[in-house]
Amino acid sequence: MVDTMAVQVTIYLSESDKWQKRPLHLEILNYLREENVYSATVFHAVAGFFGRQRVKTASLVDAGGKLPIVLIFVDTDEHVGRVLPKIKEMAAQRLIVRENVVLEQGSLD
């Protein structure tokens, strides 16, 4: 297999983030599915921090809905370029990382 280039986008969210009063991570995931993005996954962290704030952990009595959530999706550069403006709107003020990656196995077909 010839190495195939793709784009991976990682979005750092908080479990308390909302979009139109619904959980932001689920709204972004649903949007990506509607837009036929190849692959997307949401990870719910057991510990982490935002900015330079203190570490939040799942072992705290009440984390207050502030544990980190990471959403990652992969697709072609063209497709990512098409969906990213809406995601930037939905996740305003959140860290979004876009990087070129090489598919070592599988394809985006």
Number of other residues whose CB lies within 10 A of the CB of residue 4 = 15
pLDDT on residue 47: 80
Give the helix ranges, DSSP H, for 1-94. 24-34, 77-90
- The DSSP element (H or E) to which 16 belongs, if any, is none
pLDDT digits (tens, 9 = 90+) for 38-62: 999 999 888 887 777 777 777 655 5
What is the Cα–Cα distance from 73 to 81, expressed in whole angstroms? 12
Cα–Cα distance measured from residue 79 to residue 73, given in angstroms and rounded to the nearest whole number = 11
Residue-wise burial string across 6-31, b where 16 or more C-beta atoms lie within 10 A, e elsewhere: bbbbebbbbbebebeeebbbebbbeb
- pLDDT attached to residue 64: 61
State the pLDDT at residue 32. Answer: 98
21-44: per-residue pLDDT in tens?
999 999 999 999 999 999 999 998
Task: Tell me what the mean pLDDT of segment 91-104 comes to.
Answer: 95
Q: What is the mean pLDDT of the chain?
A: 89
Q: Can you tell me the mean pLDDT for 64-74? A: 87
* Proportion of the chain above pLDDT 90, given as a percent: 64
